[in-house]
A and B are shown apart, each in its own frame.
Chain A
Amino acid sequence: DAGVTQSPTHLIKTRGQQVTLRCSPKSGHDTVSWYQQALGQGPQFIFQYYEEEERQRGNFPDRFSGHQFPNYSSELNVNALLLGDSALYLCASSLAGASGPQHFGDGTRLSIL
């Protein structure tokens, strides 16, 4: 039973570029949440997708957008990258309507030069 998988593992971009990160949820899960974890900080909630729609959003600018596909996998897109976007991006999956917690992937380490 595969857990949450994220790709790529590491990514290096330059300021102003755009990036797409990918996430496959744990088998049986239908909801995907994305978090940003800056170095030395706790994860911060970016947004959540359910039924291919953004259901909830944290305090992040519109440069951060996402998508969920019919197979429940998800993408996180970030436009006009800033140095401050350097972080570990974590994907978490869960089952809507159940009392189970969110399960996290190992993350994508994004470095902006």
Chain B
Amino acid sequence: AQSVTQPDIHITVSEGASLELRCNYSYGATPYLFWYVQSPGQGLQLLLKYFSGDTLVQGIKGFEAEFKRSQSSFNLRKPSVHWSDAAEYFCAVGPYSGGGADGLTFGKGTHLIIQP
């Protein structure tokens, strides 16, 4: 069965510092990987996605993620965080079946706190 692990429940980073959020997945086929962000009381906003090609993908808001097949990881990074980045971050995996039109499996999320 597919699964996603986000090892860090909470992460605290100073404003302007770099950020890395970890994500490990278990999937039996070619995965379709996503990072979503959720602000309090809101839905999920897509930051970036990966299903093939260059293993370093760029997303919105200055985020990037690197796919490492050998480590089954898809870590999210940002060189310099802003106070507005404080939110809940979710990694998700789904089947690459010609569309994002299948059920996704999500991790439990990482809560990002930004210190001034």
A interface, CB within 8 angstroms of B: 4, 31, 33, 35, 40-45, 47-48, 50, 56, 58, 90, 92, 94-107
B103 engages A96 (CB within 8 Å): no
CA distance A102 to B106 in the complex (A): 13
CA distance A50 to B99 in the complex (A): 13
What are 29 pairs between A and B in contact, CB < 8 Å?
Answer: A4-B43, A35-B106, A42-B92, A42-B106, A42-B107, A43-B90, A43-B104, A43-B106, A45-B103, A45-B105, A47-B103, A56-B102, A90-B44, A94-B100, A94-B101, A96-B99, A97-B98, A98-B99, A98-B100, A99-B98, A99-B99, A99-B100, A101-B34, A101-B46, A102-B100, A102-B101, A106-B41, A106-B43, A107-B43
Contact-residue size bin, chain B (C-beta under 8 Å from the other chain) = 20 to 34
Contact of B108 among A41, A98, A101 (CB under 8 A): A41
Report chain A residues within 8 Å CB of B41.
106
Is B84 located at the chain interface by the 8 A CB criterion?
no
Report chain B residues within 8 Å CB of A96.
99, 101
In the complex, the 8 A-B pairs of residues with the closest C-beta atoms, listed nearest first: A42-B106, A45-B103, A104-B44, A106-B43, A101-B100, A104-B43, A96-B101, A31-B101
